[in-house]
Structure 1
């Protein structure tokens, strides 16, 4: 069955606005798990904008589901990931001036550095995914340098009025990745309104969703918000034979 990873970065964002000790990302993770989250995702940025080092350490010690740690491909961040030893690491692009991740990692432009990061992480038995756009050349390069997984950036899908066009592109990208032996995840900008067509693609193994769940939690509570998204995926997922 398709998995749901819950990104709790925005819980930390709210905390860091006031440099406070609350809200607790550990409590948020616990609520997400009670709601049915299959994994917890956090992005440890180089600028430490939201998630802090101690958050990663505390989560690693308490989680009963896998941790997916998002980091840049810088050697410093890769070394930190090897210290924390999450089950999964997703390598993402990072610019200090961005409000959120604006696009996929350019594997073609940063092949050597990305490949070194993959090899270093895999040496520690960490599964590595690359957060990339649904571009066939990028997917081919991801497979060539040894990635285990690709997470397809769905932000453009979330923002475009041509949903059908993106879905056609997505289907080609997913099929290409599967043919190359890659596991496929998807995330960014997903909501209860735009998730169903993607959740209907059985080849997508996991969705990572954060902002929309945290926003919904303000109205409905985090546990119920996660249940809502988990039920949406289960409802629309097609079981693989």
Structure 2
């Protein structure tokens, strides 16, 4: 496996700010171009059912703005599957989605939703997208992901981030151990493990140091930090901290 950990930059919340007022500014496509220049390895976007941030019209604009591979996060619905089939992103990450949530609150229960997700995974594979399942770092969810034929899982780091906020590395250590075990389990099954949610400059290091992980997807923190230091500097600093952890 490659020692270099890829960074996928989620630009959803550039669109969140744009949509708060209406009009074209700030432009998420411009953010995609800046991310590419700053050292990102991919662009992640979540087209939600309620279109609260990224909208359908952004899809082609973001693709035109950067040559980076696009990771389309999507709910397991017929509408989103049809959009992904037509758009043909590099990767499609199936995530849980509820209208009332502020952000994704946990991993997808692929064990409980096997019959719903299986045909979607098949259709996305046939469309040429690299299918990823956003799951908790749980051995049952990983085993079912293998049965479903997903080449990638993205491990939810939200609980790790919450524990870190409460008590730093000591408090988060049990969840870090669980993440490392899940990443190793995925590798043993021939699945490429990614991770993301709630990662910051302060807490990214221990996760980035998990050798089995191939990619981190980070968005909200980078966009928030960009208010203070700029998007280019925010991404470059995250890239530096990830590289330092791997070294």
TM-score when normalising by structure 2: 0.95
Whether the aligned pair in 2 keeps the contact of 1:192 and 1:229 (CA below 8 Å) is: yes
* Cα distance in structure 1, aligned partners of 2:188 and 2:227: 41
**1:92-126 deviation per Cα after TM superposition (whole angstroms, max 9, x unaligned):** 00000000000000101110111111100110111
Q: How many residues align?
A: 238
> SS of the counterpart of 1:89?
strand
Bigger Cα displacement from structure 2, 53-62 vs 146-155: 53-62
**1:48-89 deviation per Cα after TM superposition (whole angstroms, max 9, x unaligned):** 011000111211233211000000010110110111111000
Bigger Cα displacement from structure 2, 169-178 vs 95-104: 169-178
Greater helix fraction, Structure 1 or Structure 2: 2
Give the corresponding residue for 1:228.
Answer: 237
Residue 29 (structure 2) pairs with residue 26 (structure 1): yes
Aligned counterpart in structure 1 of residue 7 of structure 2, from 4, 8, 15: 4
Quote the offset at 1:174 in angstroms: 1.0
* Cα distance in structure 2, aligned partners of 1:205 and 1:188: 15
Give the corresponding residue for 2:179.
Answer: 170
Give the corresponding residue for 2:211.
Answer: 202
Unpaired runs of 5+ residues, structure 2, are none
Residue 155 (structure 2) pairs with residue 152 (structure 1): yes
Give the corresponding residue for 2:42.
Answer: 39
> SS of the counterpart of 1:192?
coil
Unpaired runs of 5+ residues, structure 1, are none
Residue 200 (structure 2) pairs with residue 191 (structure 1): yes
> SS of the counterpart of 2:214?
strand
Output the aligned Cα RMSD.
0.8
Alignment of 1:18-97 (within 5 A): 18-97=21-100
Whether the aligned pair in 1 keeps the contact of 2:137 and 2:155 (CA below 8 Å) is: yes
**1:172-229 deviation per Cα after TM superposition (whole angstroms, max 9, x unaligned):** 1111111111000000000010000011111100000001101111111101110000
* Cα distance in structure 1, aligned partners of 2:241 and 2:58: 29
